[in-house]
A and B are shown apart, each in its own frame.
Chain A
Amino acid sequence: MIRRSAAISFLIILLLSGCAETRLQTVDDSILQQQLALLEDGKTTKQDILLKFGIPSSQFEGEKILTYRLRFNQKENRFEVVSREVDRRDPRFAEWMQTEYNLVLVFDEKHILQKHSMLRINP
């Protein structure tokens, strides 16, 4: 009898732990590297980056430093620029509140990428 109830309890805990699994929308390092393969310090031009990602989320020191707020779209397996103005009540952005990344790009005076970094900013 005790064995039976222990087995049932074990099964219930197993099922509950299955339900409690959370999916963090972070990106593996390998995927990250693959997605950012375009970015080569000393080689990639500002033009290439603007054509790939569009208008930057913000810029500093004129246009020497550009930043993009990105999120990873798992369905299409690519990074997307996050919209700047978002109403938190808008259900279209529910998923967008999850993990975001900030891509920081520094260019030289010839508009060639000098260095870059990708930071996870949320959660």
Chain B
Amino acid sequence: MRKASVRSCCRILLIFLSLLSLMACAHGNLDETFVSAPYVRERWLPYLVDGKTERNEIIQRLGEPSSKFQSGTILGYRLILVEEGRDISEEEYRIILVNLETAYLNRYFGWVDERRKLLSEKGTLLIVKEQNKEEKLLEILSREAEYSLVLVFDDQDILTTNSLRRIMP
């Protein structure tokens, strides 16, 4: 009788310890490696070299900018990190939202980290402009990260200085 009660106590203790270790595993930190500005610059924008890269080359590679300042001597690109080559459907957007809710509310970021890793391999930086804002709304809302790229050119149309800032967590 006593043996049985000791055994059941051990079982309860074991279950308790397993649950405790599971809870400990479930609390993690987001991996920022693949969405950090330095990584994104190296992965997608390695051709931006101050004093060297020409304006034409940048426009050929990135397309028309999101905004222009000072008669075009400063160009601004709004860039979002998204899955490449397809439009996101309402259903896919809902699934992304549910996955994000699960991840952020439970503080378990496995799905987010995996998405970031996949985007670093197969993702793309999409340029958001006034003209495509409506059409790409679901892509914009489901973006994993957003950046602001500002490029300053000299009178020879050579890049003089630039900055890439991440503007979304």
Contact = CB atoms under 8 A, between A and B. Distances in A.
A81 interface: yes
Nearest to A111: B70
A54 B76 contact: yes
Nearest to A87: B141
A92 B148 contact: no
A83 B167 contact: yes
Given A55-B67, A80-B167, A85 B150 contact: no
Interface in A50-97: 50-55, 59, 63, 80-83, 85-87, 89-92, 94
Contact of B148 (A54, A63, A86, A111): A54
Given A55-B66, A81-B167, A90 B74 contact: no
B76 A51 contact: no
Interface string B113-156: 00000000000000000000100010011000010111010000
Contacts of B169: 92
Given A51-B163, A55-B76, A89 B97 contact: yes
Contact of A91 (B74, B104, B168): B104
Given A55-B66, A80-B167, A85-B137, A50 B97 contact: no
A85 B141 contact: yes
Contacts of A59: 67
A47 interface: yes
Interface of A: 46-47, 50-55, 59, 63, 80-83, 85-87, 89-92, 94, 111
Interface of B: 66-67, 69-70, 74, 76-78, 97, 100-101, 103-105, 133, 137, 140-141, 146, 148-150, 152, 161-163, 165, 167-169
The 8 closest A-B pairs by CB, nearest first: A54-B148, A91-B104, A55-B76, A51-B163, A81-B167, A54-B165, A55-B148, A50-B150
